[in-house]
Amino acid sequence: MQVAMLSEGADLAGFRRATRRLVAAGVPPERIVWEIGEATSLFGAGADPSDGPPLQLPRAVGELIPMVVPHSDPERYALLYTLIWRATQGERALLDVASDPLVHRLHLMRKAIGRDLHKMHAFLRFRRVEAGPPERFAAWFEPEHHILEAAAPFFVERFRSFAWTILTPEGSVHWDTDTLRFGPPGRREDVPDGDGFEAGWRDYYESTFNPARLNLDAMRAEMPKKYWRNMPETAAIPRLVRDAAMRTSQMIERGPQMPVKRDPVKAVAAMSDQNPTSLDELNAIIQRSEPLVPGATQAVLGEGPIGAPIAFVGEQPGDQEDLQGRPFVGPAGQLFSRAMEQAGLTRGDVYVTNAVKHFKFTLRGKRRIHEKPTAGEVSHYRWWLDRELEFVQPKIVVALGATAVLALAGKAVPITRNRGPFEFGGKPFQGFITVHPSYLLRLPDEEAKAMAYEGFVDDLRRIGDLAA
C-alpha cells in the first residue's frame, strides 16, 4: 500500500504532486491510502514528497479537478485519482459517459462546489470595522466546502478598492487593495453585528420586495435560513411576509397606473433657476436631483481643490464609483492614479470629475454592465459641468475620452486626430484631449497595452508642463 499525505482543506498542489508520482510509479487506485492532515493509517506514516513528470490528461479532466478538490467529502482525492488513472489507461473520453457511477458522483460534487461558491458570492455581507482612512470591512461566512481560496478572486475583482477581511471557521483571507493574504480561522464575534449602512440596505430590500410574487418555498430554496443571521435585510422578512396579503389586496384595488415620465430638459432648467453661488451649493443641487440616465444609486461629485491648475473630465462613474460615491476609484481610476504618479502629478492637487454624474448601466444577472451615455444625455448634464468648472477655475481642462470631448466641445471630435492641446470654443481655460484610462484596460494585446500606457503617461507629463 502507498500512503499519500495531503494538507487540510483544498490541497490542489499536494494532490497534483502525489498524483504525478503515483501514476509514474504505476500505482493503481486500490493500492493508495489518502491521508489528510496527520497520518493515521496502519500502512505507515509519511509519504514520498517527490514529484513526477507532468501528466497528459484530457482537457475536461484537467478542468474538473480544481472544481472537485475543494469538496468536503474525504473520498474526493481517491475518486479523482481513479478518474485520472482510468484516463491514463485508455479511457480518455470517460467524462463523456454520464451513466458511469464515478463520473456521475464527480459531477454532483462539482455542482455542489458551484452552489457553495454562488451562495458565498450572494449571501456574504461586509461590515465596516475601521473608519480609516483607509476604511476596512469584514465579513463572516460559513461555507459547506473548502472554497475560500476559490472564492477570493471574485471579491478582489468586485471590491478591489476596499480593504477587507473574510473570516470563516476554516481560514481567513485579507485584501489590502493591492495584496491578497490567507490566514488562520476567525470567529464570528470578530465581525460587528451591523454598521451604519445597513439601515439603508434594509430600506432598499423592502422597496424591491414584491408581495404579489411571494413564494416561501422558492425563497427558502434560494436563500437558506442558515445564512440569514449574517444578512441585514433578512430582519425585514417576517414583517414583509406577514403583510404580503394585505399589500397585494391594496395593489389590486388601486389598479394599474401609468409611470410618471420625467423631462430631463425641464429638470435641468429648474436646476439652473436655483443659481448656485458656490461649488458646495451646486453639489447639493446635484445630490438632490434624480438621475438623468437610467440606473445609479447616487450622484458622483467631482473631487479636488478649488483653484486646482488641472481639471480632468471623464465620461461617467463606473460600478465602483457609484457604490463609493467618489470619482475614479475603480480599475480605470486606479490605473489613472498610477499613471499620474509616474508622470509627476499628485492626485490631491488636481480636480477630477465626469461629464455625466450618474452611473448608466444594463443589468445582466447580478452584474451591472457599463452603458455609454447618449449625446442627448451628455447635453442634459452639460449645465452642471460648465458651472462646476466655473467654480473650480482650472488653468487647463483635460478631456478623457470621446464623451468628455463631446461635453466640453459641444460636438463630436475625433480623438486620434486631435489628441493633445485643443481649444474648446471660447472656454476660459486651455484644453487638452487624450484617451480615457478605461481604453487602456480594454486593449487585448499586452504589448499594445504597454505602448498605449506609455503614450498616456507622456500626455500627462505634457499636461503638467502646460499647467506649470
Q: What is the 3-state secondary structure (H, E, C) of 268-331?
A: HHHHHHCCCCCHHHHHHHHHHCCCCCCCCCCCCCCECCCCCCEEEEECCCCHHHHHHCCCCCCH
155 and 103 both lie in a single domain: no
98, 104 Cβ separation under 8 angstroms: yes
Q: What is the mean pLDDT of the chain?
A: 88
Residues 305 and 412 in one domain: yes
Q: Are residues 91 and 211 in the same domain?
A: no
Contact call for residues 294 and 333 (beta carbons, < 8 A): no
Domain boundary among 102, 118, 134: 118
183 shares its domain with 203: no
Whether 72 has a pLDDT exceeding 90, the answer reads: yes
For range 15-41, the mean pLDDT: 88
**CA-wise closest residue to 357 among 334, 374, 381:** 381
**Torsion sign (Cα): 304, 305, 310, 316:** positive
Q: How many CB atoms lie under 10 A from the CB of residue 362?
A: 11
Where is average pLDDT lowest: 109-123, 202-216, 313-327, 408-422? 202-216
**Where residue 396 sits, what CATH number does that domain have?**
3.40.470.10
Based on the domain organization, do 304 and 451 belong to the same domain? yes
Residues 6 or more apart whose CB falls under 8 angstroms from that of 214 comprise 241, 244, 248
Percentages helix, strand, coil for the chain (3-state, rounded to 5) are 50, 15, 40
| Angle in degrees, CA 266, 270, 276, rounded to 5 | 145
Q: Could you tell me if 381 and 279 lie in one domain?
A: yes
Q: At what angle do helices 59-68 and 76-88 cross, to 10 degrees?
A: 170
Average pLDDT over residues 388-416: 94
213 in the same domain as 139: no
Set of cell numbers at residue 407: 461635453
394 and 295 within one domain: yes
Q: How confident is the model at residue 260 (pLDDT cuts 50, 70, 90)?
A: low
Same domain, 174 and 290: no
Report the distance separating Cα 227 and Cα 203, nearest Å.
19
| 268 pLDDT more than 80 | no
Q: Which residues contact 149 (CB under 8 A, 6 or more apart)?
A: 10, 70, 173, 182
Asked if residue 247 is part of any domain, the answer here is yes
**Quick one: what percent of the chain has pLDDT higher than 70?**
92
Residue 159 pLDDT > 50, yes or no?
Answer: yes
Do 318 and 436 sit in the same domain of this protein?
yes
Among 118, 140, 160, the domain-final residue is 118
Residue 259 inside a domain? The answer is: no
Helix (H, G, I), strand (E, B) or coil at 39: coil
Q: Tell me: do 38 and 172 sit in the same domain.
A: no
Rounded to the nearest angstrom, the gap between the alpha carbon of residue 270 and the centroid of all alpha carbons in its chain is 36
Q: Which domain holds residue 397?
A: 264-467
CA distances from 105 to 34, 94, 115, 273 (A): 18, 13, 15, 69
Task: Measure the CA–CA gap between 381 and 315, rounded to whole angstroms.
Answer: 11
In a shared domain, residues 225 and 337 = no
**402 inside domain:** yes
> Cell numbers at residue 152, please?
477570493
Distance CA 239, CA 233 (A): 11
The verdict on residue 304 lying in a domain is yes
Amino acid at site 297: T
Say what the pLDDT of residue 41 is. 47
Does residue 108 lie in a domain region?
yes
Within a domain: residue 136? yes
pLDDT recorded at residue 160: 87
Q: What separation in angstroms does the CA of 261 have from each of 258, 264, 266, 292?
A: 9, 9, 12, 11
Look at residue 42 in the predicted model and tell me its pLDDT. 45
Average pLDDT over residues 168-178: 94
What pLDDT was estimated at residue 258? 58
Query: How many domains would you assign to the chain?
Result: 4
Q: Pick the closest to residue 340 from 422, 458, 421 (CA basis).
A: 458
Q: What is the rounded CA–CA span in Å between residue 410 and residue 413?
A: 9
Confirm whether 37 is domain-assigned.
yes
Question: How far is Cα 8 from Cα 5, in angstroms, rounded to an integer?
Answer: 10
| pLDDT class of 43 with cuts at 50, 70, 90 | very low
Among 173, 190, 207, give the residue marking a domain's end. 190
Question: 100-140, pLDDT tens digit by residue?
Answer: 999 999 999 999 999 999 999 999 999 888 776 678 899 99
User: The whole model's pTM is what?
Assistant: 0.54
Residue 147 lies in a domain: yes
